[in-house]
Amino acid sequence: MSAPGSTASLRTANQRRVVEALRASTGSELSQAEISRATQLAPATVSNIVKELSAAGFLESESGAGRRGAQVKISLGAGLVAGVDFGHSHLQIALGDLSGGVLATVVRPLKSQHEHSEGLALASELLDKLLAGQGAARSELRAVGMGLPAPIGNSGIIDSGSILPGWVGINAAEIATETFGVPTLVDNDANLGALAESAVGIGVGSASMAYLKISSGVGCGLILDGKVFRGGLGTAGEIGHLTMDENGPLCRCGSRGCLEAYAGADALVAQFAGRQPDITTSQLIALALGDDTGAKRLIEDSGRYLGRAAAILANVLGLELFVIGGDMIAAGDLLFDGVHNGIRRHALDPVAKTVRVERAALGDKSSAIGSLLFALEAVELPS
């Protein structure tokens, strides 16, 4: 690594500014003049960077690369990145190019009690199949981003096994880097969902937003000032364990009355199991949409609890947008009406009138696409 403040460090930083400007552009293609305006770098600096990265095969520029009007884009031959999203009972892989474009995805069911070695072996196998489908080899893979449904603190060690017990005590980034053979970055799946929705989803243009992932549990990723906010401990956003009622039902985290115990799909299914054992989340939602009174009430109530928690976040952080994703969004207005109602009742009036609540534009691919975009941060530029 270059020493901070050195000429080499400044050169690398400027290269990254140029590449990030290209990734942020709608068509991933800009003229050198547009890059100069977007990065606030001098035209001569941009021209030199484009020449260097084009010579290294990272960028492509039309003939006359020194001209300010020359169009520049990230080369399709510069390499590939992958996003790996581990859910409660699924594994999803996304393969993309270095502009952040998604080339292919695949989803497979996965046992919640799987060992980390088993999950990573399957991920590696699926990744090879996606690469083969694109006519690419593993050697073209530059980096991987990986999402897990667990808090990822600054230590990188997974210490919460309530959803993925087979990962407890593991430094996920280290062992995933060994498995995939390329630099691998790991984050909480809700953070990565927030990253994706902010960058290419419904949250484009919103500087402050929250992505609420309502699946087996309740996850939250925060975007503050346009960036993922992880907090000083690296675990920001765990609203699933806000206490709604200290005398409430026992949560999987060990506390009582957590939001997750009222709004998470596993908790709702457990409550309904007295009437219908072995029911799944999708079956519960289907009953609710079919006017089963008990199922309908459970989902409506879960929406109101989510709205109450969202109101707390909006009041404290001044968020302008909540994006709802995860399995439970299949309940549609049954869930969303409750969220709106909860925000109206518990947020400050100016906040309640202004904050937006939207469905995740990327659907069940939010965390996988976020993982892919996260991988771009680990891609080293040509020296």
pLDDT tens-place string over residues 57-93? 999 987 555 566 779 999 989 999 999 999 888 999 9
Query: Could you give the count of Cα atoms lying within 13 Å of 70 in the half-sphere of its Cβ?
Result: 19
111 & 30 share domain: no
Higher-scoring residue by pLDDT: 91, 154 = 91
Name residues whose C-beta falls within 8 Å of residue 268's C-beta, 6 or more positions apart in sequence. 281, 284, 298, 299, 302
Query: Could you give the count of Cα atoms lying within 13 Å of 162 in the half-sphere of its Cβ?
Result: 16
Q: Cα-flanking dihedrals φ and ψ of residue 208, to 5°?
A: -135, 115
Per the structure, how many domains does the chain have? 3
The reported pLDDT for the residue numbered 162 is 64
Whether 18 contacts 32, CB under 8 Å: no
Among the three residues 24, 48, 77, which one is the final residue of a domain in this structure? 77
pLDDT in tens, 240-263: 999 999 999 999 888 999 999 999
Domain that holds residue 47: 7-77
27 & 135 share domain: no
210 & 103 share domain: no
If phi over 0 gives left and psi between -120 and 50 gives alpha, with beta otherwise, what is residue 117?
alpha
The reported pLDDT for the residue numbered 68 is 62
The single-letter code of the amino acid at 282 is S
The reported pLDDT for the residue numbered 130 is 98
Among the three residues 60, 77, 94, which one is the final residue of a domain in this structure? 77
* Residue 232 placed within a domain: yes
**Does 6 score more than 80 pLDDT?**
no
Instruction: Please give the average per-residue pLDDT across 350-366, as a whole number.
Output: 96
Indicate which CATH number applies to the domain containing 304: 3.30.420.40
229 & 329 share domain: yes
* Residue 278 placed within a domain: yes
Per residue in 42-76, is it b (16+ CB within 10 Å) or e — as a string? eeebbbebbebbbeeebbbbeeebeeeebebbbbe
* pTM, two decimal places: 0.93
Instruction: Please give the average per-residue pLDDT across 301-309, as a whole number.
Output: 97
Tokens of 211: 């992505």
Q: Is 256 helix (H, G, I), strand (E, B) or coil?
A: strand
* Residue 269 placed within a domain: yes
pLDDT in tens, 170-189: 999 999 999 999 999 999 99
Kindly report the number of other CB atoms within 10 A of residue 94's CB atom. Answer: 28
Tokens of 292: 């089963």
Whether 110 contacts 76, CB under 8 Å: no
212 & 327 share domain: yes
Among the three residues 77, 103, 127, which one is the final residue of a domain in this structure? 77
234 & 351 share domain: yes
342 & 216 share domain: yes
**Does 265 score more than 60 pLDDT?**
yes
68 & 93 share domain: no
CA 147 to CA 228: how far, in whole Å?
A: 14
The reported pLDDT for the residue numbered 150 is 87
86 & 181 share domain: yes
Instruction: Please give the average per-residue pLDDT across 6-27, as a whole number.
Output: 86
- Complete DSSP assignment for 289-333: HTT-HHHHHHHHHHHHHHHHHHHHHHHHH---EEEEESGGGGGTH
* Residue 367 placed within a domain: no
285 & 351 share domain: yes
127 & 137 share domain: yes
149 & 291 share domain: no
